[in-house]
Amino acid sequence: MIEAGAKLIIGLGSQAEYGLTTAPVTEESPTRPRTHYGIAKQATGAALMRLGQRRATRAIWLRLFGLYGPCETAASMLPWLARHFAQGEVPALTPCTQLWDYLHVRDGARAVCALLPTQAHGVFNLASGQAPPLRETVLKLRDLMAPKIEPDFGAVPFGPEQVQCLAGDISRLQAATGWGPQISLDEGLAELATEAFGALAS
């Protein structure tokens, strides 16, 4: 990209670069990845930052936290839950006491676009800035889709490396761009519920 004349490169990293976090993290927090995925993301981000510095090219590395939204095919938490509720099934869950940040993908895309006209560079957290207990989010989606279902909280034990707080401080990104999330979690969950019911009907 640099050889082709790119003046800005934006790479997408992951909260997994921080490792087992128990409190909200800033971009200055230590990175201690525990998975191959997190290790690979950290190494790629470091390489991008070094290359940008050496070649006088503006480089931005965004560490993503809990993006979700329509058409998601990965077996991640929210679409998995929505499928269970749409089918009237009781999901087996951990205690869901973790603090978990979810950001709608359209807000994530807006953040990337907001960085383009700035002179910002370096590492930024990309999150909603809100991390309620995961149990609250589960019950919000349940109330929208299957109010009579009682999720089986605690049926699945925490793993030995369970992240207990997935929350990123976004003040650096906000200061650089003026960006802020526009889609509330309630709105995003309603969209997710509608999509899950639609998929079931088809």
Domain positions in the chain are 22-44+69-201
Q: What is the pLDDT of residue 19?
A: 96
Distance of CA 38 to the CA centre of its chain: 14
Which parts of the chain fold into alpha helices (H)?
36-54, 77-86, 105-115, 134-145, 171-177, 185-201
Question: What is the structure's pLDDT at 199?
Answer: 86
The conformational region for residue 123 under phi > 0 = left, psi -120 to 50 = alpha, else beta, is beta
- Compute the distance between CA of residue 69 and CA of residue 141 in angstroms, rounded to an integer: 13
Backbone CA torsion sign across 92, 97, 99, 104: positive
pLDDT given for residue 146 in this prediction: 97
Express the helix, strand and coil content of the chain in percent, nearest 5 each: 40, 15, 45
pTM for the predicted model, two decimal places: 0.93
The pLDDT assigned to 161 comes to 87
- One digit per residue, the tens of pLDDT, for the chain of length 202 reads 999 999 999 999 999 999 999 999 999 999 999 999 999 999 999 999 999 999 999 999 999 999 999 988 778 899 999 999 999 999 999 999 999 999 999 999 999 999 999 999 999 999 999 999 999 999 999 999 999 999 999 999 999 889 999 999 999 999 999 999 999 999 999 999 999 999 888 7
Domain 22-44+69-201 belongs in CATH node 3.40.50.720: yes
Element (DSSP H or E) covering residue 33: none
pLDDT tens per residue across span 108-157: 999 999 999 999 999 999 999 999 999 999 999 999 999 999 999 999 99
